[in-house]
Amino acid sequence: MVSRSPLTLATFLHTFLPTPTLYYVTNILAIQGPTTFVYRLALLPFTSWMIYRALVSLDFATAIFPADPSKFHYLNQGLALAMFVAFARVLARTFTSQTPQRRPTSPPTTQQLALDAADLTFNLRAIGWNFTATMKVPAPTRPLTPTSAFVAATVKSLSIHILAFDCMHYVCQLIVASGASIYDPTVSNLTARNLHATILTILTGLCIYTAVKIGSDLLTLVGVTVLRQPPSQWPPLFDAPWLATSLTEFWAVRWHQLFRQDFLFCGAIPFGRLFGRPGSVLGAFLVSGALHFVGLWGMGTGWDVRVVYFFLMMGVGVILEGFWRRLTGKRVGGRVGWVWTFGWIVGWGPLFADPFCLSGIMDSVFLPHDLRPSVRLHSIAVTIIQSRFTSS
């Protein structure tokens, strides 16, 4: 394997930049329809090699904090996720039978083609494109007019989720050692050990949710305030996933759909043709598991296939819901459906949360220690408690 090099201007230009550039060129060709298939096919091996080279060669963490890069290995995780998605989408653009379109006019002008390709490159959900027409986009939860009200609501959401993420991350750091398992070997009681693991599983899931929300809010602010895009182009990323009353609703509707097109093209469609609906469901979750598997590998702590098993079990749960519907004529739902949904997710959750914690990500630094809200709140709480005991 190629040794990793810190990100510098030279490695950025030589190793990183070719990947988004070739992906952009592939999108330009895809938008022009079937006549460009030969060119896309010829470009595929070069683009794939550049993606692989960037994945295994670059070290973002060392570039940011060379003294202790382990605190920033999540940046390499982000790189690994990005390269996986880029490869999946290059495959989709190369072999798709549906020409990507978002404009009624045909063919587009040169300027429209360039802008459309840029949108297809950076629009993760591909909102507004013909191949995502069936995707359920959450209804707006922020005022779309005036823009200032939308920005204020987004800033409020960002602040709340930064506070929530930091507090939950801080609690995780208090109850699990750096790079340690969620199953505490120092706890002899099996019930207590499993309860400890369950709490960490739930906190891990909530940390992921709030972290993705933070990223979404930040990008929304950039899009609306810097790029001057209308707020309507930035619909909510999640649709209150805690309200889901079935696994199908949770994963297909209420959870974010950032990688939906990748799971469909690389998993659901080919496996569905071979094995019907069960193959389609398991194929989609298999690709999701592979995505997260590669992401955790990017942390630099090795392989852990349990994350793939977690997502496959989510697929098994969705298939079981389909069997239930055919057996009873009713969809899974209601209060019982809610208990089923989160019992299944949390029950299998350690397959994801344990590798996540073992990767060392809970020891990561996202904010300077002295600026962390959780640290200040903890200090205030300790001071109040100490003063009350002293006075009594």
pLDDT in tens, 235-275: 999 999 999 999 999 999 999 999 999 999 999 999 999 99
Q: Note whether 264 and 131 are within 8 A (CB).
A: no
The whole-number pLDDT of residue 2 equals: 45
At 193, the amino acid letter reads R
pLDDT in tens, 160-215: 999 999 999 999 999 988 888 999 988 889 999 999 999 999 999 999 999 999 99
Residue 1 has pLDDT above 50, yes or no: no
Residue 305 in 3-state DSSP? coil
The residues facing 58 across adjacent strands are: 5
Q: Is the dihedral of CA 280, 281, 282, 286 positive or negative?
A: positive
pLDDT band (50, 70, 90) for residue 36: very high
For residue 319, CA distances in Å to 281, 315, 339 come to: 7, 6, 17
The whole-number pLDDT of residue 391 equals: 65
Q: Give the residue among 274, 1, 257, 287 at the shortest CA–CA distance from 134.
A: 257
More confident: 170 or 104: 170
More confident: 176 or 220: 220
Contacts of 115 (CB under 8 A, 6+ apart): none
Residue 119 has pLDDT above 80, yes or no: yes
pLDDT band (50, 70, 90) for residue 392: low
The whole-number pLDDT of residue 302 equals: 84
pLDDT in tens, 281-295: 999 999 999 999 999
Computed over every residue of the chain, the mean pLDDT equals 93
The whole-number pLDDT of residue 102 equals: 85
